[in-house]
């Protein structure tokens, strides 16, 4: 039986734009509940209908939270208190966004006009 030489390896050339992947992006918002003289502690929770709303109306969903209870549970905390919310990454063209908790009762919070920064880490008061 004759020996067959192995075929030359062929290297495919793939256009650069097809091989590039964006890094996973997240937006981190540290929220502070300020001290209130009449209330040394409160009950807090976060609804899953909490979003970052970009100036074009695009919503970025919440991925994770820390130091706050998920609806329907409550977490008793002394104030001042801080908690952290992690959202999907903002679009490249976004320069201003709002933090909005959309709930079917009073008490949802809104922080409007948050200016975008390079780190996508923010501190707001709610």
47-98 residue pLDDT tens? 999 999 999 999 999 999 999 999 999 999 999 999 999 999 999 999 999 9
Domain count along the chain:
1
Cα-to-chain-centroid distance, residue 46: 13
Model pTM score: 0.79
Q: Contact 60/86 with Cβ under 8 angstroms? A: no
Vertex 15 angle, CA 14 and 18, to 5°:
90
Residue 9 located in a structural domain: no
Q: Domain range holding 102?
A: 16-125
What whole-number percentage of the chain has pLDDT above 90? 71
User: What's the CATH number where 56 sits?
Assistant: 2.60.40
Q: What is the structure's pLDDT at 43?
A: 93
Higher pLDDT, 105 or 27: 27
Cα end-to-end span (Å), the chain: 81
Q: What is the structure's pLDDT at 23?
A: 56
């Amino acid at each position: 039986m004759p020996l067959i030489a192995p075929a030359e390896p062929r290297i495919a050339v793939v256009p650069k734009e097809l091989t590039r992947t964006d890094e996973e992006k997240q937006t981190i918002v540290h929220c502070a509940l300020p001290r209130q003289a009449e209330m040394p502690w409160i009950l807090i929770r976060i609804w899953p209908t909490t979003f970052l709303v970009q100036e074009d109306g695009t919503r970025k969903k919440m991925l994770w939270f820390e130091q706050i209870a998920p609806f329907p549970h409550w977490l008793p905390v002394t104030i001042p208190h801080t908690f952290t919310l992690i959202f999907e990454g903002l679009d490249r063209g976004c320069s201003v966004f709002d933090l909005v908790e959309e709930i079917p009762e009073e008490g949802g919070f809104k922080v409007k006009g948050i200016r975008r920064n390079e780190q996508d880490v923010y501190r707001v008061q709610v």
